[in-house]
Structure 1
Amino acid sequence: MDEINGLPAHPLLVHATVVLLPLAALALVLHVSWPAARRRLGVVTPILALIGLILVPVTTSAGEALAAGLGPVGESAPVRRHEELAEQVLPWAIVLAVLALLAWAWWRFELRERLVGASLRVPADWVLRVLAVAAAVVLTVVLFRAGDAGARATWEGVVTG
């Protein structure tokens, strides 16, 4: 998918990706840290994370097509920097999606009661919480850095202010 309604798909898909992934990260943090939010969010948390995960390679593919169509500009140092940083998003989106699915199943299907002895439930809950918060923070930072590099590659020298 290189174009959407005659426009390059990458900038359009980027907007969906940079909204959904941080939203999924926030939902995961709420899910693991606040029981009332966990009950309300339910399956929404892993669904957001999975949709965000699916968008990453689609957005990347559209970005590669856009860069190829830009000729020498697509090979410039700012574009290469953006591509390098963007490559870090997929692994963290996978981690976030796996943790979102695990967190949802952990409490929804009472996996904590089935898989962990009573004496280890609280420590296991905390391990999941720490991993979820860490993944949410890292993904958000990685996404911000990639997006910032992409914006700089696009607008630096074009917009002043």
Structure 2
Amino acid sequence: MTTIWGLPAHALLVHAIVVLAPLTAVLEILCGFWPAARRRLVWLVVALAGTTTILTPITTDAGEWLKDQRRVVSPILQEHAERGDWMIYFSAALLVVALALAALHWLESRSDTPRKAITVVVAIVALVVGVSSIVTVARIGHSGAESVWGGR
């Protein structure tokens, strides 16, 4: 996908990632540490993580196409593209955490007290993956903005 209604697809799709990835991360952290949130939001979190994982390679492919349209690729644009290529790993990690939260939810529905160690591990992994994903999205976005607007 290269354009949507005549606009570069990357410019439109990137906004979905910029919203969905941090939203998914925050909800995963919330669900990891608060069982009531997990009971209410776990399937939304799985859907958001799945959507983010699907949109990430589409967005990076559209970004590569857009970069290839440039005659000169600045170092900051190259850095943005390289950072963007890493987002798929963070999106996949968000999906794995969402599935772990769903499994934890399922275990909780089968018994009153799942093993405390499992709950703690899932919460900590959700925190680490969530924070690192938010930071990564911010770093990718910052380098992208710098490549477009930095010299102005």
Q: TM-score, normalised by structure 1?
A: 0.88
Counterpart for residue 149 of structure 1 = 143
1:122 and 2:116 equivalent?
yes
More RCO (CA 8 Å, sep 6+): 2
Kept after mapping to 2: 8 A contact 1:112/1:121 = no
| Secondary structure at the counterpart of residue 45 of structure 1 | helix
| The one of 99, 104, 123 aligned to 1:106 | 104
1:35-54 map, 5 Å: 35-54=35-54
CA distance in 2, matches of 1:53, 1:8: 20
**Cα distance, 1:83–1:61 mapped onto 2, change above 3 Å:** same
Kept after mapping to 2: 8 A contact 1:113/1:121 = no
CA distance in 2, matches of 1:111, 1:137: 25
Counterpart for residue 62 of structure 1 = 62
| Secondary structure at the counterpart of residue 42 of structure 1 | helix
* Uncovered stretches (5+) of structure 2, i.e. residues with no partner: none
* Uncovered stretches (5+) of structure 1, i.e. residues with no partner: none
CA distance in 1, matches of 2:132, 2:109: 25
The one-letter code matched in structure 1 to 2:12 is L
The one-letter code matched in structure 2 to 1:147 is G
Q: How many residues align?
A: 151
Percent identity over the alignment is: 38
1:8-87 map, 5 Å: 8-72=8-72, 75-87=73-85
1:77-110 CA distance string (max 9 Å, x none): 1110101111221111101111111111221x21
Q: TM-score, normalised by structure 2?
A: 0.93
The one-letter code matched in structure 2 to 1:17 is I
Runs of 4+ in structure 1 over 4 Å off? 111-114
1:29-79 CA distance string (max 9 Å, x none): 11111122112213001110110111110000000000111121xx22111
Displacement of 1:128 after TM fit?
Answer: 0.8
Displacement of 1:124 after TM fit?
Answer: 1.6
CA distance in 1, matches of 2:109, 2:82: 38
